[in-house]
Structure 1
Amino acid sequence: MEKKLKTITFTVIENGIQTPIATRRGSYPNLMYLLKEELQLESFGECGGVGRCATCVVKTSGITGNSTLKERNEPATLSKLGFEEANIRLSCQIYITADLNDAEISILEV
């Protein structure tokens, strides 16, 4: 029997414009790659997803589960920029999972 993949849907806000996104788990390595490709963002995610450059900073609302946890280089990188809020994240450190369903992701200018 073939396993049906569930659609993951959320909203992205860039420069005040809301864009609904529908994707599936595993379609992208992480949220940064999805945002970069779907929204054609230039100068976004310049370090390639290792959590060092902070060119993929987003503000999240409605993310659940393990996707709320900051790991690896993320806390130190955000702290250097003065971001201490739990909902400010590096999109390269957020995986595409059901934790993103119904979330709102705002792209921040850094």
Structure 2
Amino acid sequence: MEKELKNITFTVIENGTQIPISTRHGSYPNLMYLLKEELQLESFGECGGVGRCATCVITTKGLTGAAAIKERNEPTTLEKLGHSDEATRLSCQIYITPDLDGAEITILEI
């Protein structure tokens, strides 16, 4: 019997408005694609998710597991922009997994 996938629910804050999002594990390649499609964000994620352009910068609260770890190009890209705190992330580097459940994601102005 195939295991049923549970909904992953989190809150996105864009321009001060809270938007509840509900999705499933692996429904998008990463959080950047989900945000871009669901919220119709222009000029968001211009490099296509390789962690270089920083047009998908967010702050996070409540990420768990692997989602809370910065890997690949992310730390270097964020440091070049002066973002050194752990809560600031590139949404292209966060996968759609249960580690997002209950989190709060704030989209930053570019």
User: Could you say whether these structures have the same fold, taking a TM-score greater than 0.5 normalized by the shorter chain as the test?
Assistant: yes
**Matched residue of 1:3: which SS?**
coil
1:29-108 correspondence runs (5 A): 29-108=29-108
The offset of 1:56, in angstroms, is: 0.1
**1: CA distance, partners of 2:106 / 2:99:** 16
The residue type equivalent to 1:73 in the other structure is N
TM-score between the two structures when normalised by the length of structure 1: 0.98
**Cα root mean square deviation, aligned:** 0.6
**Matched residue of 1:70: which SS?**
coil
The offset of 1:66, in angstroms, is: 1.1
**Matched residue of 1:22: which SS?**
strand
TM-superposition CA deviations, 1:68-91 (whole Å, max 9, x none): 110100000000000000010000
Between the aligned residues of both structures, percent identity stands at 75
The residue type equivalent to 1:40 in the other structure is Q
Q: Which runs of 5+ in 2 are unaligned?
A: none
TM-score between the two structures when normalised by the length of structure 2: 0.98
TM-superposition CA deviations, 1:6-46 (whole Å, max 9, x none): 10000000000100000000100000000000000000000
Q: Which runs of 5+ in 1 are unaligned?
A: none
The ranges of structure 1 where at least 4 consecutive aligned residues each deviate by more than 4 angstroms after the TM superposition are: none
**Matched residue of 1:8: which SS?**
strand
The offset of 1:2, in angstroms, is: 3.0
**2: CA distance, partners of 1:103 / 1:66:** 13
Q: Number of residues paired by the alignment?
A: 110
